[in-house]
Structure 1
Amino acid sequence: MKSYFTKESKILAHNEKETLYSKLLQSAQEQHGKLQARIEKVDELLEEAESCLVALESGMCFQTGELYSDSSFFLQSWCLKGQFMTLCLELCEMETEDQQMLLQMDELKETEKICQEVLEKYDFTEWEITEWSEQQAIFHFLYDSVELTVVFGPPVDGDDFGGDPSRSIVSLNFESFLDEEQAPPSSCLVQRLIFQFIGSQGRWHEKCPTLYYLPQVLHDISLVVNRCKILGEEVEFLERWGGKFNLLQTDIKDTEVKLLFSSSVAFAKFELTLSLSPSYPSAALPFSVQTLIGNIGEKEISAVLSSVPVGHHYLRRTVSLIHQNLLQDPR
């Protein structure tokens, strides 16, 4: 049964890959088509330029070392030379455009490589089945600190193993087994965010009335668990290595992270409070600033945060950029 749900979860992840690769392939094909059209145009220009040269050479006649020509010949020659120069200019422009398109193709390949690495990194399953009986199934997340109990309805006729996708689900119940008194603050933060997401979804039974919908539910929860777990690792990193970024202290209160920065070089000390949510890191974080020493305040912090793209390790990159842009020697 676990293999069935694992397979379904992987199918969901591969569908996301397929969508991304389709877009990349379409873009690459469009770029290739444009490049091919440019190449054909350049070939036509070269052929036309060669024709002009041949016409110029064939229009000249030499007799006893002297060039004989009439006014119509010179007029035709100058016209052909003008056309040749125009074609040369167009050819140079086409070569420049071709180089730009090749650079765009290289950038597209690099983007594809990065996307592939990210997809492989996030091809995950954050749940484990610890029980599957005729009445219920129990799933564990995040080192057994979150438990999901799925209670089944009556089995479908002819379903000997209780895995028919049309079998009804009576309830889905979540429970936390984290000892918040003993757990580090970062783990408590992660747990709060996960259960904030669980509570925000309303009645899970309505989202998952039958076994058919269970793989999608497991996938959605896994996404949030994975993101929050990485956030917890980021907070632990800052607690341990924050001194490298002029970060004196990292405090956690409910779902807020308070970061105390201090720099004698910049003559500044301030506290940055970031409000976290289960959607981290897909959106910019609301923040507030308390200036303790110096002139670094909300305006300066806002300018830095606006330049930090959302995504993987958003918190760490934010701290790093504040350190780099505001707390370094201005020289």
Structure 2
Amino acid sequence: MFDFLFNISQLTDFMGTGFRLSIPIAFAALGGVLSERAGVYNIGLEGCVLSGAFGGAVGAVITGTPWGGVVFALLFAGMAGVVLATLSVLMRVNQIVAGIAINILMLGFTSYFARVFFPDGTASQNISGFKTFEIPLLSKIPILGQPLFNQDILFYSIYLLVPMAWWVMYRTPWGLQIRAIGEYPRAADTAGISVLKTRFVVVVISCALAGLGGAYIVLSQVFVFTENMSAGKGFVALAALILGRWNPIGALMAAVFFGFADALQLRMQFSSPDVPYQFFAMLPYVASILALIVFAGKVKPPAALGLDFIRSGK
């Protein structure tokens, strides 16, 4: 079952699969980190990934280019973010309930309109995805070279966005505002920071980033949209951001862990065809539960996470 670990070619292939499967989780987890650092639960990450996947398919078919798919993915997921921010930030609906509502809404929305836009399955024939390209020298590194440095632009972009997000979060005034709002919004408001406006913007950005995860699935992995194709990746991303201690770099590392857990279950399905595949398919979710059991008690979320903000006198 684990013979591939001793075969360079198979090990390289396994690592490539693991890294690729981690990308949608990483995009969603990064978005979740930003939102929850600002004090807003984004349980709707699953719906945002799904809306981004649908937007990516629609955009790629309409424009004939994967970049059009990226734009549409950002728009669709961003609109989901506007709805979520309106409910949870402006209307002060329970943030958990609002996130669940987004997940259900996006599942129904994408399922219905997928049949409208792609009634005969033409999406699988017309989606133009991104092509991989090698980074000179780095792609020649043994074992890690091909998995990390022979990928497409969306794959590389997450490894640029994560350090950028870390820098913004911990080295810029706006990042300080986000963290202040998530820890002590009353003090932030007293200092002149618009708590509601900042939270609204951050939630929309959060959903847009998760939408890029959905776009990656369609434009870089499967090149087709199917109903509920997010397959729980948004929920796994919630576990990743907790394991990552609400830190962009930590969330990426956790996403890679879950990506490799998913790759392992695929490899185990292939090597053990007599075992029901459902047994292996649950491995990534079991891994997320076990990881939370082991590490969740040792992490501390932002102090104001999930708490509504009401200005004094209003």
**TM-score normalised by structure 1 residue count:** 0.22
- Structure with the bigger RCO (C-alpha within 8 Å, sep 6+) is 2
Higher strand share: 1
Higher helix share: 2
Larger radius of gyration between Structure 1 and Structure 2: 1
